Amino acid sequence: MATAVLDSLVETVSGLPEQDARAVLDFARFLSERRPSVRVYPHVEMVYTPSGRRARIRGSRVMVSHIVGYIHLGETPESIADRVLPFLTRSQVYDALAYYDAHRAEIDRELAENTETASMARLREHLGQQDFDRLTGNAA
């Protein structure tokens, strides 16, 4: 891939003075060696929610973490697309899982933040112990 990009760039800069063309190509080589290739996930978009930046299936309200959650519950990509969330295509589900594979720590953190235990801890912190106990029926 990087070679094809460099070949295209060579053709593009061929009309420049040699010194300028060499500078552009040297910089392009520098960038290609320093930066790992970026994977594109056409069915995943980043959105900003009240709880932060999240990966979501493009054109839906389904987060990548929802897909991963279903996988953790024993669903397959096929069953998610065919039965659980039939408005999604298999391609969308597989793309979400590919995104998860490349961004596992991010999605695992999102899953951990959205457990019942984590939500209760945030509520307790926000309300204080006394109001939390009263709200949850644990007041003495």
What CATH fold (topology level) applies to the domain 44-136? Arc Repressor Mutant, subunit A (1.10.10)
Per DSSP, the three-state class of 61 is: coil
d(CA 106, CA 1): 27
Question: pLDDT (tens digit, 0 to 9) for every residue of the chain, 140 residues total?
Answer: 455 665 677 677 777 787 877 787 777 777 666 655 555 889 999 999 888 899 999 999 999 999 999 999 999 999 999 999 999 999 999 999 999 999 999 999 999 887 778 678 878 888 888 888 888 888 66
pTM above 0.75, yes or no: no
Candidates 112, 125, 101, 81; CA nearest to 41 is: 101
Tokens of 125: 């912190």
Domain regions of the chain by residue span: 2-34, 44-136
